[in-house]
Chain A
Amino acid sequence: MSNIIQVGMADMKIARPPDKLMTAGLGSCIGICIIDKSIKLASLAHIMLPSSVQAKNPQNRAKFADSAVDMVVEEMQKQGASVSRLQAKIAGGAQMFKFSGDSDIMKIGARNAQAVEEALKKHNIKLLASDTGGNHGRTITFDPETGDLLVRTIGHGERVL
């Protein structure tokens, strides 16, 4: 029996086949999917913000790009993954609102994407594919069996990374 494990906002889950990981309605948030293909262990973290450094409440590590990647690496290692085999795919980081004027809310998606890429680099995790930016939401499903990342949108089609 295969389950689809839902990952909420600022949350992280780990799964093995036949289960799949899913997070719905990514806007400026980013879904970070990391897999160790040789043992078919996969994780999905739904981060909201780029950095935990200035945060008043960094306890929830899955909320921030930097601490979420640290957390994923630790947790996946505990379950037998090797950091050198980890590979990543990411999606999200859109700009949902058209604003005239200059506001931080506009740039959060792009800042998130950049922070995720830096955090992956820090751990030498290879970024295999990414679907970030634009101005549309994304619902993603990550399959630990194949490593495929299905990205669904409203009005911008579907694709597999």
Chain B
Amino acid sequence: MLIAAALSALLALAVLGVAAGAEMWRHRLIYFCCMIASLVLLAGGIKHLGQTPGTGPAIVLPIGLPWLAAHFRLDNLSALFMVVVNLAAAATSAYGIGYCSHLPEPRRVTPFYPLFLFGMNAVLIADDAFMFLVAWEFMSLASWLLVLADHKNAENRHAAFVYLVMACFGTFCLLTCFGLMAGGEGAYSFPAMRAAKLDGVSGFLVVLLALLGAGSKAGLVPLHAWLPLAHPAAPSHVSALMSGVMTKVALYGLIRILFDLHGEVNWAWGAVMMVIGGITAVMGVLYAILQDDLKKLLAYSTVENIGVVMIGLGLAIAFKGSGEKTLAALALVAGLYHIVNHSIFKTLWFLSAGAVITATGERDLGKLGGLAKRMPWNGVAALVGALAIAALPPLNGFVSEWLIFQSLFKGPSLPHWAMKFGVPVVGAMLALAAALAAACFVRAYGIAFLGRPRSQAAAEAHQVPASMRLTVAFLAVMCVVLGAIPVTVTDALSHVVTPLTGVQFAVSADLGWPWLSPVSSTRGSYSGTVLVMTGLGLCAVTLMLARLLGTSRLRRADAWDCGHKEDIPQSQYTGQSFSQPLRRVFCASIFAARESVDMPDPGDNRPAELKVRVIDPIWVGLYATIGRAVDFIADLVNRIQYLTVRRYLLMMFTTLVLMLLVVAVRQNQ
């Protein structure tokens, strides 16, 4: 009941947001109320996470299609995603309290923000296809409006346009997908779809359309093109929600269809999803390494992480389709764990980026530097987030990647040859993506937060308001907690996985708390808790030994730098120079990355220039081609725009005759 109240409150807040006007305290109050609503929804999610499957609260409202009331239900999977969504939403709302006054036009953000939260939560609890799609569109359109918040910037308008086109494409695919599952009678409620049997062709099409529809929202390569345009264009707390949470709602749709409604997905789809996931992960992180815009970099990193989750989901489908239910549950737990983790550390980084923009007005890495000293809170929190994204122990990102690796390593036990040879290749891609993510975030953190300030704005950066600092600190603590007590998390996740895979499963079955031992105690185990304790102990011993054997004297001096004195901060490594070796090694063939040096002749006073050319193969190869094709067809169609009335009448008549012919032929059959 509280959940329904919180959702209605969000709708009401959207209306109030319109009336907020120019007074800042009203905006702050609305964000505060959003935070309370999110916390209520979070508590609701946590409460129902461990419920016995099939006992979740349900509600039927007399709205929607005339012959189909609106069905809502909160089952275990919905509860988990409700936790994911609202944990991040509570943080971004709290952040918004301080951040809204720094926005250029807060009145274009505040009304749509609660609407966006409402849309995402409604997708999760929808129990029929109609409500699901309505809520899905709420989410898409509200976020589209938020992308357009700073509409005076032409780049943002372009981003919003591409986003709208891709959102329409995604919804179209999902609509068709649900249509196929509903069958001829139009059984749109989820229980009816679950009961229905799909024949071969429609079963195939349902999976394909679900992958296209949810995949385009989640940002799978090659459907990711809108994501790095739209996510950075929105205000930072909305970027955090779009990247950290909305992509997860898309994955929720995918899991709902593939694991719950469809029920019998062929194992080969799992193999396909793993390969797509692997490609998405590697491409995403390579794109990220090439970016100089901090928010674009983060958006591409989201693409990478979605790829990592897809590898886990694909494995789960492959195991489930081959009858290996326990391993399917393990892979699904791994994927869900990564979903939870990514929602936290990506929110953390986008909020940090927002703080950086607030403090300096810059989001170009080349103009930042030295912020760890000027903004200590954000410096520490962003470092924790970077370590988590780079999948380093003892943080949460490592645990989920560890679980994905553990389940990948069991992949070759499947009887299919495609899996035996494919899984090692996907494993190599995942490992490559993880290692490149570390390089990417050493670059992002090292350039933005360390070194000397590269611009006046960075040198004069100031602390941001308390609500913005406390939220990133909270999220950083969550990263540590979820990494240090992994078993508690996997136990909660196994409640979600049980109804989807039909098997009781605990990752810690063999050794108990706090040991993660996915298959058995002798098959490899991990304990973040023990590792953290020992590591801290060893670090303390190191510190003591160094003090005991040596001196603790310390002197501050100029940097030595091999005797070179570098006074201008521009002599430091920049984002471009940091990524140069990686660009040469990895991007020379995929992105056709080339460098050319323009060296003026002796006596010429022009400065020498280094030009870097990078071609996005997917945009140029796929999207630009489609764009040209659409233009071409539009030109052809354009000709019928200027006909005489007589010709239009003739066309209508011809169409009518053709339709009648079709009807006649069909009746005769």
Please indicate whether A and B come from the same complex rather than being unrelated chains.
no
Chain B residues engaging chain A, CB cutoff 8 angstroms: none
Chain A residues engaging chain B, CB cutoff 8 angstroms: none
